[in-house]
Amino acid sequence: MKKRKIAIMGFGTVGGGAYDILTKNREYIKATQGLDIEVKYILDRSDAPLKKHGVDPSLFCPSADALAADPEVELVIETMGGVEPARGFIVKMLEAGKSVVTANKELLAKSWAQLEPIAKAHDCGLFFEASCVGGVPVIRALGESFQGDKVQAVYGIINGTTNFILSKMSKEGLSYADALAEAQRLGFAEADPVSDVGGYDAAYKLSILASLAFHTCVPYADIFREGIESVTANDIKNAHELGYEIKLLAIGKRDGNDIEARVHPAFVPMDHPLASVSGAFNAVYLTGDHVGDLMFYGAGAGAHPTGSAIVSDVIKALGGSPKYCDFDNSGKLDKKLNFVGDFVSGYYICVTVDDKPGVLSRLATVLGDNSVSIKAAMQVPSAADTATVVFLTHRAHEKSVMKSLETIGRLAAVKSIDSMIRVL
């Protein structure tokens, strides 16, 4: 059996996980897939990560040019992260006719439209199962299992860091700051956590998933994005009293020519399967026009879950012809389609007001004047002479709710608008 030689660019957590699987399961892959895969090179800044991982330092390659020039290497795994120099290195590999397997969601969301034509021109592939939801095979499902269905919605929990933080706040009553500190201590959050807690990571992933689901480019820059930084312990407590959990959701919908794509915290009903997804786990819901609802659940990150997805792509790439997008991947939404900015949702609104007669009625009037109907309301004990009022609305337009809040914020009796969170 011919050895199929590959290389790894970036030997951190994920690159190391992929290497572990390729080496430990080498005989298993030979027996079941008919492929004898050998890692010939590992490219990194130095050979220190190889030594730390117990890998023979002779595999170290210091130069992307040298790697690209080796005709024996037919595929390269990219697990460097970030946009540059990863993008430039990937371009070198594709131009050298080497297929690339990447876990880099930010790079793919920003440069997919530029990279795929290069792969096509040089008859090689760009594979990215590991870019979204770790080891959960949702990319493959969207690309190969829904040919007969129109996907109407793809949504879920696709960032493990924020789900860990919100789960800690929910189960242990921690503040956002304390839950974030715990996530950082355990390695679930970076020292600079903004990509995760600000919703950027989820927006990158939603761009990829929604593009595949709806057969059109859904640019990440056009996705409505809001992070979890403003979610408080009181919001969690109020959510529980109303029968909800709070999760950071990525939501993509297509209705005819209308596309909706948004990332934000959301109240999720306790009886919805997504409400029970806790810790660093992820889950993605897909709704097809004939298959109905499906849920994919599993570890959304980590060395071996993500490494498993990478190895799956390596086997697919070495075992067949590359597959490209079935839509015009121009980097822009198709001209026949429209982004929905004024989307419809339920809303949780928390307001601190003067504790005196008539205030609740005035708030309800403002909402009603803007066609926002109240589903539930409750008063929460607050400081002397003030009251905290919580509303849960029926489904309403985003612009109507924002206009209501502008008016409410100007009322003399209103001390503060404390929170507004959308409801799934």
Catalytic positions, please?
205
422 DSSP β-pair partners: 266, 347
Query: CB–CB of 203/220 below 8 Å?
Result: yes
Q: Give the HSE-up count for residue 285: Cα atoms under 13 Å, Cβ half-sphere.
A: 19
Pick the closest to residue 18 from 318, 259, 303, 411 (CA basis).
303
252 DSSP β-pair partners: 154, 261
Integer Cα distance of 422 and 348 in angstroms: 6
In SS3 terms, the chain reads as: CCEEEEEEECCCHHHHHHHHHHHHCHHHHHHHHCCEEEEEEEECCCCHHHHHCCCCHHHEECCHHHHHHCCCEEEEEECCCCCCCHHHHHHHHHHCCCEEEECCHHHHHHHHHHHHHHHHHCCCCEECHHHCCCCCCHHHHHHHCCCCCCEEEEEEECCHHHHHHHHHHHHHCCCHHHHHHHHHHCCCCCCCCHHHHCCHHHHHHHHHHHHHHHCCCCCHHHCEECCCCCCCHHHHHHHHHHCEEEEEEEEEEEECCEEEEEEEEEEEECCCHHHHCCCCEEEEEEEECCCEEEEEEEECCCHHHHHHHHHHHHHHHHHCCCCCCCCCCCCCCCCCCEECCCCEEEEEEEEEEECCCCHHHHHHHHHHHCCCCEEEEEEECCCCCEEEEEEEECCEEHHHHHHHHHHHHCCCCEEEEEEEEEEC
Pick the closest to residue 195 from 287, 106, 111, 127 (CA basis).
106
Integer Cα distance of 21 and 2 in angstroms: 19
